Structure 1
Amino acid sequence: MDQPSSLVVCQQGHTVEYPAALDAVANAGTDLAFCRPCDCQQVHMVTLFAGDSPRVVASGDLDLYARFEATEWPERIHVDEARPFSYRELEPLDLAQFLKE
């Protein structure tokens, strides 16, 4: 089993894990995003872009997750030995428009 990638998502040092295969998807040219809950009761939206480090682009309460789920961005499911993992594919201006709302 491949080790998952992890990212520190908050000032308290909490991390989220995601399938390492998503790093390869992003580096092959598919921009993607996912939301994950944190131990500090926040939801964090993480983006992966080719040639860039994963980063938290937004944090908030469950409303952030609801807004993310309401987008029309194509949903993909990565399945491996650990569990299914849902993420969304981004077009070039999707993120800017989402953050502006």
Structure 2
Amino acid sequence: MDQPSSLVACQQGHTVEYPAALDAVANAGTDLAFCLACDCQQVHMVVLFAGDTPRVVASGDLDLYARFEATDWPEQVYTGGPASFSYREMGTLDLALFMKE
């Protein structure tokens, strides 16, 4: 089984994990995003762009997750691991709505 990819998500140094296969999806040219919760009780929106490192573009409470879910970005589900993992494919978008200030 593949090891998940991890990312330091917050200033407290908490890490979040996601399927490593999503790195390959992004590097094949599909920009994608997903939301994850971490130990600091925050929701973090992570984006993966081809040829770039994963980055947290926004952090907040459940309202952030609700705004993310309200986008019309196509939802995909990765099922190659022990649990399914939902992410969204980003096309032309206004990512500024989610960027950290």
Q: TM-score w.r.t. structure 2 length?
A: 0.93
Which amino acid in 2 is paired with 1:99?
F
Shift of 1:19: 0.4
Residue identity in the other structure for 1:85: F
SS in 2 for 1:77: strand
Aligned length: 99
After TM superposition, give the deviation of residue 30 of structure 1 in Å.
0.1
* Long gaps (5+) in structure 1: none
Following superposition of structure 1 onto structure 2, how do residues 45-64 of structure 1 map, counting pairs within 5 Å? 45-64=45-64
Tell me the percent identity. 79
Structure 1 letter corresponding to 2:73: W
2:77 is paired with a residue of what secondary structure?
Answer: strand
Q: Structure 2 CA distance, aligned partners of 1:93 and 1:67? A: 14
Contact conserved, 2:19 with 2:81, CA < 8 A, in 1?
no
Give the root-mean-square deviation of aligned CA atoms: 1.2
* Number of the residue aligned with 1:28: 28
Q: How does 1:78-93 map to 2 (within 5 A)?
A: 78-93=78-93
Runs of 4 or more off by more than 6 Å in structure 1? none
Q: 1:92, CA displacement in angstroms?
A: 3.0
Deviations 1:17-58 (A, max 9, x none): 000000000000000000001110100000000000000000
**Whole-Å separation in 2 of the counterparts to 1:7 and 1:14:** 8
| Paired position in structure 1 for 2:9 | 9
Q: What CA distance in whole angstroms lies between the structure 1 residues aligned with 2:76 and 2:94?
A: 16
Structure 2 runs not aligned, ≥5 long:
none
Structure 1-normalised TM-score?
Answer: 0.93
